[in-house]
Amino acid sequence: MCLAIPALIKAIEDKEAEAEIGGITRRISLWLTPEARVGDYVLVHTGYAINVLDQGEAEETLTLLRQIAELAEEEG
Amino acid sequence: MRFISEFRRSELAEGLISQIHRKSRTPARFMEFCGGHTVTIFRYGIRQVLPSTIEMVSGPGCPICVTANADLDKAIALSQVPDVIITTFGDMLKVPGSRSSLQQVKADGAQVHTVYSTMDALKIAEDNPDKSVVFLGIGFETTAPTIAASILQAEEKGIRNYYVLSLHKLCPPVIQALLDSGEVKLDGLICPGHVSAIIGSHPWDFIARDYGIPCVVSGFEPLDILQCVDMLVAQVENGQSRVEIAYRRGVHPEGNQQALRLMEQVFEPSPAQWRGMGEVPDSGLKIREKYQRFDAELAFDIEPGPTREAVGCICGDILRGVKTPDDCKLFGKACVPENPIGPCMVSSEGSCSAYYLYGGSFGG
Amino acid sequence: MEDKILLAHGSGGKLAHELVEKSFVKALANPLLSRLDDSAVFDLSGRLAFTTDSYVVSPIFFPGGDIGKLAVCGTVNDLAMCGAKPLYLSLSFIIEEGLPQSGLEQIVNSVQKAAGEAGVEIITGDTKVVHKGSADKLFINTAGVGIIAEGIDISGSNARPGDKVILSGTIGDHGIAVISQREGLSFSTRLESDCAPLGDLVAEMLNASQNIHCLRDPTRGGLATSLNELAKQSGVSIRIEEEKIPVREEVLAACEMLGFDPLYVANEGKLVAIVPAEDADKFLKAMRRNRYGKNVAIIGEVGAEHPGRVVMKTVLGASRIVDMLVGDLLPRIC
């Protein structure tokens, strides 16, 4: 369950925001993420931001995966 | 798409797959609990690329599939009340109850609207003040806080014609019930990513601690699942059992405190009926007395009729991971997506649907 | 107070005649239509293609088009998919009373524009007006006739193992553009329907080579459904590669948000061609020169194992079945 996609917050008005993903925009609710700011990426589930995405962690995960891929090439 | 496309890159997948093959020596059975994970696993053919030491089994993590017929019948009975507009996520439309489905009653004239969000349902309530708008609240801890927020918004805006039928379920109690039944022996659990975004990773501690089962919280892209399997394999090979978060960009160990607060404010735990598992204590959510004017079960007098289960349907066994769709006599014959007998075939993330649509054991 | 279509406009009397002459005949002017006889009478000999379709899209105006444009393009494309040169269309309107006249005019203008681009004439028509609630604003029914040149044999049962599968462009544009307007699901997008007449594209392909085995336009049910139909009709398997299928980022994003698979989303200006491998490059070149083939791609090939099945190679290199669409495409939360 839990289809939630990362969307970029473009503008905030009260407890709602304009969020953009891949060129489409939709009004979402920030009731669950009052700490979200313009420029943040949030995970959007049924129109609500359920978490602010940690961009630093995302980069670290990708770096780790790249390292694993390089290691695999050397071993292989 | 940022933070999605990067986690689908084939060259990074190859590295993970290679590492898993190198490290995995001990036969292990991993269960993914969450329906969204089931879809990713089947859609990308993940079972095929894993070594033969790893067996994957799907659990009861599809909130549609685990909704009991008695609860579906309540939703259908509500659709028959004059001046009621049912608003629902699309997932619920085709699921057969004891006698009918929402899609069928809609064809017979009932007002049933598919929405993407409770925000849309609230708007329908505002635009139709002379009707009663009932929202079918399904889903686990990812969705429950959004429903709670919708009730609080309705209160804030003075919307008096919005109601919720709470059929929400909680994950940790049902995983515990599953493990206690002793029916499925597991060597690792792929923990739901977005449920964990809300509740954090600590609610899974008991699984590692009391049952000795490694747990890793996973995201939903193919690289996420592969990374999760890689981490589970590492724990298995090192004889460990801990809770780890692979989905670090989406999950903090403490979860989303604000979401938990809203859930706590509006709902309280209650016993719930799970298809295939009967009643599990404290595994559902009931609307608190303070907000009972939003509770559809209290607001409307309905007679759902006697509950009937479809003969021959083994969705219950499939949900618990003790049988696969191939074990079901009805699978692919009487029970097909265009004529589903049980919810596992209807829901886009039910095991039977996944097997049927993506070819189940095809190629694997 | 806006002029609206009334029941009287469909009853065959003076108002009805006025409507037909003012709104339809004037805009769609051609000698056969202007006669206003009970039937259009014309000479035509050779191998004919004949098709019929009904259009009930809601909303009737969507980004990139409307039900009128859709009706012309859809009918023209059905003819083109058989290798026919589309010639004449019939057009029947079933109008819900209360439809603003300006809306009807806008739609008839779209029809005229689309027919002009497609090089077809609307030679006969009909108008009915029904009570409020008996139709969703406007339904259009069409029939179309075209002529197939000698030597052309295009059919869903002609695919052979070894053939290449060509897709003319990005998938999912139409379905997502329409759904973006629907109440309860709406979101903002610059995406437009890809609704387009493909008669010229097919003609240019046939100029390059007459060796086209199959053509299909993947409308409702999407690419997956069309490929399944072809695989079953020809008794072959079709193997496609996920990474080769062109999809716009906005379509992907909307599908991610709503829980759709782009393979099942409707298209109204795309075609799938199954051609012998040795001719594939010829077709690619010809298609790329046409405005509706700019994103053409070879997405797979035809095989002999698993007849009737469509199999897709995922980004992980694994294979999975792609089945037909069952029922409606419904947004999901799970």
Q: E strands within B123-195?
A: 132-137, 162-166, 188-191
Is residue B364 pLDDT above 50, yes or no?
Answer: no
Identify the band that residue B360 occupies on the pLDDT scale cut at 50, 70 and 90. low
Q: What is the pLDDT of residue B165?
A: 97
Measured CA to CA, the distance from residue B270 to residue B283 in angstroms comes to 6
CB atoms < 10 A from the CB of B52, how many? 8
Tokens of B164: 């919720």
Interface test mutation site (partner C, options A21, A24, A45, A48, max chain C beta carbons within 10 A): A24
- B163 burial level (CB within 10 Å; 0-12, 13-18, 19+): buried
Q: Which two tokens stand for residue B148?
A: 């709670």
Query: Which residues, in sequence order, are bridge partners of residue C90?
Result: C124, C143
What does the DSSP assignment read for C68-129? HHHHHHHHHHHHHTTTEEEEEEEEEEEEETT-BHHHHHHHHHHHHHHHHHHT-EEEEEEEEE
3-state secondary structure of C29: coil
For residue range B216-239, what is the model confidence (pLDDT) as tens digits? Answer: 999 999 999 999 999 999 999 999
B143 interaction partners in chain A (CB closer than 8 Å): 1-2, 45-46
Confidence of residue C19 (pLDDT cuts 50, 70, 90): confident
Angle between helices B35-44 and B351-358 (to 10 degrees): 10
Is residue C1 scored above 70 in pLDDT?
no
Tokens describing residue B199: 């509740």
Of B149, B256, B145, B284, nearest to B198 (Cα)? B256
Give the whole-angstrom CA distance, residue B348 versus residue C331: 10
Task: List all residues of chain B from 156 to 195 with a beta carbon under 8 Å from chain C.
Answer: none
**pLDDT tens by residue, B79-111:** 999 999 999 998 888 888 899 999 999 999 999
Decide: residue B152, CB within 10 A, 0-12 exposed, 13-18 middle, 19+ buried. Answer: middle
SS3 call for B331: strand
Structure tokens at C317: 């290199």
Q: Which fold has domain A5-75?
A: SH3 type barrels. (2.30.30)
Contact assessment for residue C152 and residue C68, using Cβ atoms and an 8 Å cutoff: no
C-alpha B137/C-alpha B253 separation (Å) is 26
Quick one: how far is CA C12 from the chain centroid? 31
Is the model's pLDDT at C166 over the cut of 50?
yes
Which residues in chain C touch residue B124, judged by CB atoms under 8 angstroms apart? 183-184
What is the rounded average pLDDT of the residues C100-116?
A: 94
- All residues of chain A having their beta carbon less than 8 Å from the beta carbon of residue C254 are 22, 24
Chain B stretch 105-124, residues whose beta carbon is closer than 8 A to a beta carbon of chain C: 113-116, 120, 124
Q: How far apart are the C-alpha atoms of B15 and B27, rounded to whole Å? A: 21
Supply C186's token pair. 């709406």
Q: Is the pTM of this model over 0.80?
A: yes
pLDDT in tens, B312-334: 888 888 888 888 898 998 898 88
- Chain B neighbors of C323, CB-CB under 8 A: 337, 356-357
The answer to whether residue B256 neighbours chain A at the CB level (below 8 Å) is yes
Instruction: State yes or no: pLDDT of C17 exceeds 90.
Output: no
C143-163: pLDDT as tens digits: 999 999 999 999 999 999 999
Contact residues, chain C, for B17 at CB < 8 Å:
316
Q: Is C149 on the interface with B (CB under 8 A)?
A: no
| Residue range B198-208: mean pLDDT, rounded | 97
| Residue A2 DSSP code | -
For residue B198, pLDDT over 50 is answered with yes
Is the Cβ of C308 closer than 8 Å to some Cβ of chain B?
no
Q: What is the pLDDT along chain A (76 residues), one digit of tens a residue?
A: 478 999 999 999 999 999 999 889 999 999 999 999 999 999 999 999 999 999 999 999 999 999 999 998 887 6
CB B220 within 8 A of CB B193: yes
- Is B325 strand, coil or helix? helix
- Residue of chain A with shortest Cα separation from C257: A5
Q: Which residue carries 């829901």 as its tokens?
A: B347
Q: Select from B279, B362, B276, B360 the least CA-distant residue to B322.
A: B276
CB of B237 within 8 A of CB of B25? Answer: yes
Contact B299, B163 (CB under 8 A): yes
* C334 contacts on A by Cβ (under 8 Å): 1-3
Instruction: Kindly indicate the confidence band of residue B361, based on its pLDDT and cuts at 50, 70 and 90.
Output: low
Q: How many Å apart are CA C80 and CA C74, to the nearest integer?
A: 10
Q: Cβ–Cβ of B359/C320 closer than 8 Å? A: yes
pLDDT above 70 for C91: yes
Residues 6+ apart with CB under 8 A from C147: C44, C46, C47, C48, C49, C84, C85, C87
Average pLDDT estimate for B118-140? 95
Q: What is the 3-state secondary structure (H, E, C) of chain C?
A: CCCECCHHHHCCCHHHHHHHHHHHHCCCCCHHHHHCCCCCCCCCCCEEEEEEEEECCCCCEECCEEHHHHHHHHHHHHHHCCCEEEEEEEEEEEEECCCEHHHHHHHHHHHHHHHHHHCCEEEEEEEEEECCCCCCCEEEEEEEEEEECCCCCCCCCCCCCCCEEEECCCCCHHHHHHHCCCCCCCCECCCCCCCCCCHHHHHHHHHHCCCCCEEECCCCCHHHHHHHHHHHHHCCEEEEEHHHCCCCHHHHHHHHHHCCCHHHCCCCCCCEEEECHHHHHHHHHHHHCCCCCCCCEEEEEEECCCCCCEEEECCCCCEEECCCCCCCCCCCCC
pLDDT of residue B35 exceeding 80 = yes
Q: Count CA atoms within 13 Å of residue B45 on its CB side.
A: 21
Structural domains of chain C in order of their starting residue, each with its CATH number: 7-39+46-148 (3.30.1330.10), 164-321 (3.90.650.10)
Q: Would you state the structure tokens that stand for residue B198, as one six-digit string?
A: 């809300």
Torsion of CA C53, C59, C63, C68, to 10 degrees: 40
* Closest Cα in chain B, distance from residue C80 (Å): 31
Q: Residue C182 CA to chain centroid, in angstroms?
A: 20
How far apart, in Å, do the first and last CA atoms of chain B sit?
Answer: 30
B160: which strand partners?
A: none
Cα–Cα dist C90/C116, whole Å: 15
Q: Do C314 and B45 touch (CB under 8 A)?
A: yes
Closest chain A residue by Cα to residue B60: A1
Looking at residue A3, the DSSP 8-state letter turns out to be -
In which element (H, E) is residue C230 found?
helix C222-234
Burial code of A22-41, b = ≥16 C-beta within 10 A, e = fewer? bbbbbbbbbbbbeebeeebb
Do C318 and B363 lie within an 8 Å CB cutoff? yes
Chain-centroid distance of CA A56 in Å reads 11
Q: Cβ(B31)–Cβ(B59) under 8 Å?
A: yes
- Please judge whether C318 and B8 are an interchain contact, meaning their C-beta atoms are less than 8 angstroms apart: no
Q: What is the pLDDT of residue B1?
A: 85
Whether residue A7 contacts residue A36, with contact meaning beta carbons closer than 8 Å, is answered with no
> What is the mean pLDDT of the segment spanning B158-167?
97
Judged against a pLDDT cut of 50, whether residue C301 lies above it is answered with yes
Three-state SS at B67: strand
Neighbours of chain A (3+ CB pairs under 8 A): B, C
Q: What mean pLDDT, rounded, does chain C reach? A: 92
Interchain contact, B358 vs C315, CB within 8 Å: no
Query: For chains A and B, what is the number of CB pairs under 8 angstroms?
Result: 153
| In chain A, domain spans | 5-75
Whether residues A43 and B250 touch (CB distance < 8 A) is answered with: yes
Quote the Cα angle for A28-A34-A37, to 5°: 75
Nearest residue to C309 via CA among B362, B246, B310: B362
Neighbours of B323 (CB within 10 A): 16
**Euclidean distance between CA atoms C286 and C205, whole angstroms:** 6
Q: Measured between CB atoms, which of A4, A48, A51 is closest to B149? A: A48
Between β-strands C237-241 and B84-88, what pairing exists: parallel, antiparallel or unpaired? unpaired
Identify the structural domains of chain B with CATH numbers, from first to last: 27-63+181-245 (3.40.50.11750), 69-170+255-299 (3.40.50.11740), 315-358 (no CATH)
Asked whether the beta carbons of residue B146 and residue A46 sit closer than 8 angstroms, the reply is yes
Asked whether the beta carbons of residue B48 and residue C315 sit closer than 8 angstroms, the reply is no
Kind of pairing between the strands at B243-245 and B215-217: parallel
Q: Hey, are the CB atoms on C327 and B35 less than 8 Å from each other?
A: no
pLDDT > 80? residue B276 = no
> Which of B5, B32, B87, B119 to mutate: most A Cβ within 10 Å?
B119
Q: What percent of chain B has pLDDT over 70?
A: 98
- C263 band by pLDDT with thresholds 50, 70 and 90: very high
Q: Are C162 and C301 in contact (CB under 8 A)?
A: yes
Task: Decide if pLDDT at B362 tops 70.
Answer: no
Mean pLDDT of chain B: 92
The share of chain B scoring above pLDDT 90, in percent, equals: 69
In B138-238, DSSP assigns E strands to 162-166, 188-191, 215-217
* Residue tagged 């403490």 (tokens): B254
- Report the candidate in C331, C326, C193, C322 with the shortest Cα–Cα distance to residue C250: C193
C334 close to B (CB below 8 A): yes
CA–CA separation, A74 and B17 (whole Å): 14
Closest CA to C122 of C8, C20, C14: C20
